[in-house]
Structure 1
Amino acid sequence: MSANAPAPTRPGPGGPLHRLVGWWEARRSGPTLALAWVLTRLAVLGVLALFERFVVGDVFYYHRKIRALLDVGLEHTLNEYPTPVTWLLWLPYGATGGHRVGYLVAFIVFMLALDAAFTVALYRTSGRRHTGPADFWLAFVLLVGPLSYLRFDILPAVLAGGALLAARRRPWVTGALTGLGAAMKLWPALLIPAFLAHRPDRKAAGWAFVGVGFGLAALSLLAGGWSRLVSPLTWQSDRGLQIESVWATPVMLARAVRPSAWLVDISKYQAYEIFGPSVALWLTVATLATVAGLVVIVALYLRAFRNPAPTALAVGLVVLATVAVMTVTNKTLSPQYLLWLGGPMAALLLLARDGTAGQRDQLRRLAGFLLALALLTHLVYPLFYDGLLGRSGHPMVVVSTLVTAVRNLALVVFTVQVVRLAWRWLALADRDAVAG
């Protein structure tokens, strides 16, 4: 070989995947983001049309309940959800004249519009640039799959993410979005203390939250009465141990060994629950875990309020930690609940541009972890769900239970990591403020 000949080119680290990422990074732009959104969403709809059409049942359940609304009245319609949800679910019904298939199409289009709006918000907040946070959101929804558009849980996810994006520039928007989220799904009300920790924004965010959240609560009281106002809380408290929840995992693993000792069946609460030995014990453990989770959340809030000026990243981590703790400690954990984590995570990745290189790396690792959780959740439901229900023979009961257990363990690990980082970064924010 000649001494003047060029040295052979070595493949870069990561091989083809590294080159693909490099190619994509070099071509980021508004049009490529729009194209990527269209292609990934067409892929989700393709999976729905070809392989997962059976997951549309909840949408037809909404349709059936809205159709009966005039006959039974608001006080007997969708009692498991806050009253404003009934108004929300009426929109696709009214737009399609009550047509059953039309309702399904309109519902999916509505959820796609929310998804697109959040993607645009990520693009605009980043200075009209196609950045990694938008790519994360594209991939996250793709991995969760068609379920993203066949439940309305993408709404609180987008509201929480949008509230975090607006927190420092338009705090009143943050308060309004959080209040709207609380009116639709209750749990976003837990996020407002985190946003109020930043003192300069406290008044605007607080009053907007009160105006929207309590305003919708007052309208709900006038429209449906007290029993309808509190029915989502009583519905939730009366539910049993859902088979996908973290606290059902020990019992489900035991069932995989001896299926005859436990019964898995759909309850009157529209969820598959497990019945049999030690279920009552684990329901008690779940209740204690929920209380412990609230203590952790309150401790994070107090730590945030102690800081003279907590950073946007620290507040964002408290928001993400609140959602994660609430999800893993509950006795119910439907697959679509994972969507709640995606919005705040995407917003955090965008806020990370103002953080240190180490903070950006840590958040990217969390985001990668969450993408893996999205894929595992898609495996749990709908791909392995028949196995989990015992409809595909005992071998699939074992496989599906193990996949669910791995997902739940990973979700607990993710939650612990987020809480640990939030606690540590709040301390860093405190020291930085004092030093300044």
Structure 2
Amino acid sequence: MCAMDTTAARRHLTCLLTTWGVTRLALLLFVFKVFVFPGPDVTTDVSVTYRGWYEVLGTGVFPASDVTWQYPPAAALALLSPGLLPFLDYASAFFVLAFLADLAVLTLLLNTALRPGRSARGPWLWVAGVPLLGPTVYSRYDVMVTAVAVAALVAGVRHPRVMGALTGLAVLMKVWPVLLLAGAVRRRAWTAAVVTAGALAALFALAAPGAFAFLTFQRDRGTEVESVGALALHVARRAGWPGEVLLRYGSLEFTGPHVEVVGDVALGLTAVAFGWLLLWRLTAGRFTARTLPEAAFTAVLLFTVTSRVISPQYLVWLIGLAAVCLCRRSGVMGLPAVLVLAASCVTVVEFPVRFADVVASSTLGVSLMFLRNGLLVAAALTAAVRLWRSTVRGRTPLASPGAAAHGGRTAHSASRVLR
């Protein structure tokens, strides 16, 4: 019986790795333009924009005069990394490194999922979800940030200082990983994150001028055409609203009457999301090992759907965090993860395949945005409800009885740590 189980496990692992290899080969063939993916060329961000920043960063300064530079200073590490492969041109080296980051995430997930009591759903979600986004995944540095974020969550409860240090690094690369700490119960994780982020920030500020110019550019950004708030403007545009879409701060944004109101509403909803997370954190009483990734996944979902910008690569973050959640059999994020997977399928259609329809607010473009954003909003609300029910005292956990008993022991240990 044991031999049969071992054989089945090997076959399952072989199937997973084969699927990963085939799908990633397809992505590489697209980014290297052996085959042409429908829609606009998504690789120009690497060959033109990233390459231009690489040249500037190589001189020891940040591109502070470029309004499209909207990233924290440690993003320079990702953009300079192709220099590690001098035998390749910049774009080719970047694609190879993105591929390796993808492989690193899979390795981390497999290492987690193959432990007793774990599930292979997490690795499978990553294997299946990433190619659904098309070549955009390997044409943005978000997959590299996701790799660091996944490593932080995998370190999790067992190694809080490691988690904190990795989170601090990731925050200085893309900001959103600060939400990984939403479910962290150990002070050591918070302390390590603050110390790491602070030390890196000080180092960049002293070493290179313009390290924090991105803050001004982020503040001035408007409502991007793919965001949830943009749906109101798409509908208004079809009804005769005189606004238009312009390229601003590196993305296509709405301009015209009342756009600022939509942006203000989005900021207000972000504040509401933060308030809910704070209320949850103060109310929750059952912190188990699975709470850490599930809280991070929920927090990033909430802040994604309330953001003024939802770029396609944001889905890479969500797939990575959802995959960590699904590595535990007792997890409650199955449905939100499936909704994110469905949203990824729609995302690749709206960008890059039919992005012209989105920009033009055509019937097809608006329908795609309603569907994709509707799936993300549903995922965020479902995740929030499930996180609340599984952690707040007085509620019945959604996990199995055996998992609940284990969770109770873990929660007791966590409470001792907090005290």
- Equivalent residue in structure 1 for 2:197, among 213, 225, 249: 213
- The alignment partner of 1:123 has SS state of helix
Note if contact 2:227-2:373 (Cα within 8 Å) is conserved in structure 1.
yes
Q: 1:384/1:257 Cα in 2 relative to 1: closer, same or farther (>3 Å)?
A: farther
Task: Give the drift of 1:287.
Answer: 1.8
> What are the equivalent positions in structure 2 for 1:66-81 lying under 5 Å apart?
66-69=54-57, 73-74=61-62, 76=64, 79-81=69-71
TM-score of the pair, normalised by structure 2 = 0.84
**C-alpha separation between the residues in 2 aligned to 1:350 and 1:77?**
43
Q: Deviation of residue 233 (structure 1)?
A: 2.2
Output the CA distance in 2 between the equivalents of 1:366 and 1:422. 11
Alignment of 1:135-214 (within 5 A): 135-195=124-184, 197=185, 202-214=186-198
1:51 aligns with 2:36: yes
Correspondence list, 1:220-299, <5 A: 220-225=204-209, 228-258=210-240, 261-267=242-248, 269-299=249-279
> Hey, what's the Cα distance between the residues in 2 that align with 1:399 and 1:310?
44
- In structure 2, distance between residues paired with 1:151 and 1:368: 23
**Following TM superposition, by how much is the alpha carbon of 1:299 offset from its aligned partner in structure 2, in angstroms?**
1.7
Higher mean Cα deviation, 174-183 or 65-74? 65-74
SS in 1 for 2:208: helix
Taking the aligned partners of 2:119 and 2:279, their CA distance within structure 1 comes to: 36
Q: Which residue of 2 aligns with 1:6?
A: none
1:310 aligns with 2:310: no
Q: Structure 1 residues 296, 232: CA separation in 2 closer, same or farther (over 3 Å shift)? A: farther
Aligned residue number for residue 425 of structure 1: 390
Give, in whole Å, the separation in 2 of the partners of 1:376 and 1:335. Answer: 10
Q: Hey, what does 2:19 align to over in structure 1?
A: 36
Q: Percent identity?
A: 31
1:55 Cα deviation after fit? 0.6
Greater per-residue helix proportion = 1
Q: How many residues align?
A: 386
Preserved CA contact (<8 Å) 1:178 1:189: yes
Counterparts in 2 of 1:127 and 1:56: CA distance versus 1, 3 Å? same
CA contact (8 A) 2:333 2:386 kept: no
C-alpha separation in 1, matches of 2:394 and 2:139: 40
* Contact kept in structure 2, 1:161 and 1:345, CA below 8 Å: no
2:203 is paired with a residue whose SS is helix
2:260 and 2:146 mapped to 1: Cα distance?
A: 32
Structure 2 runs not aligned, ≥5 long:
1-6, 397-403, 413-419
Q: Which stretch shifts more, 25-34 or 319-328?
A: 25-34
Deviating beyond 4 angstroms after TM superposition, the runs of 4 or more aligned structure 1 residues are: 24-27, 428-436
8 A Cα contact 1:174 1:205, kept in partner = yes
The alignment partner of 1:331 has SS state of coil
Q: Find the aligned partners of 2:71 and 2:207 in 1 and give their Cα distance.
A: 14
The AA in structure 2 aligned to 1:400 is G
Alpha-carbon contact 1:123-1:130 (below 8 Å) kept: no
Match of 1:330? 307
Name the structure 1 match of 2:401: none
Q: CA deviation at 1:36?
A: 1.9
Shift of 1:204: 3.4
- Which SS does the other structure have where 1:272 is aligned? strand
Gap change, CA 1:401 and 1:189, over 3 Å in 2? same
CA contact (8 A) 1:63 1:93 kept: no
| Structure-2 residue corresponding to 1:90 | 80
1:400-430 Cα offsets, whole Å, 9 max, x none, are 1210121112211111111111111112598
Structure 1 residue 76 displacement after superposition: 2.6
Query: Counterpart in 2 of 1:416?
Result: 381
State which drifts further: 377-386 or 185-194: 185-194
More divergent stretch after superposition (27-36 vs 144-153): 27-36
The structure 1 residue matched to 2:348, chosen from 378, 382, 399, is 378
User: Retained in 1: the 8 A contact 2:339–2:378?
Assistant: no
Q: Distance in 1 between matches of 2:65 and 2:99?
A: 25
* Match among 94, 101, 104 for residue 117 of structure 1: 104
Pairing partner for 1:63 from 41, 51, 60: 51
Q: Which amino acid aligns with 1:266?
A: L
Letter paired with 2:237? R
Give the CA deviation at 1:248. Answer: 0.9
Alpha-carbon offset, residue 104 of structure 1: 0.9
2:273 and 2:9 map into 1 onto residues whose CA distance is 43
1:148, CA displacement in angstroms? 0.8
Shift of residue 262, structure 1, vs aligned partner: 2.2
Which range moves more in the overlay, 211-220 or 121-130? 121-130
Whole-Å Cα distance in 2 between the matches of residues 347 and 61 of structure 1?
31
Moved more, 313-322 or 125-134: 125-134
- The Cα shift of 1:242 comes to 0.5
Deviations along 1:78-100, one digit per CA (max 9) or x if unpaired, are 64111121232112145337x7x
Distance 1:300 1:25, change over 3 A: farther
| TM-score normalised per structure 1 | 0.81
**Which letter does structure 2 place at the counterpart of 1:87?**
L
SS at match of 1:113: helix
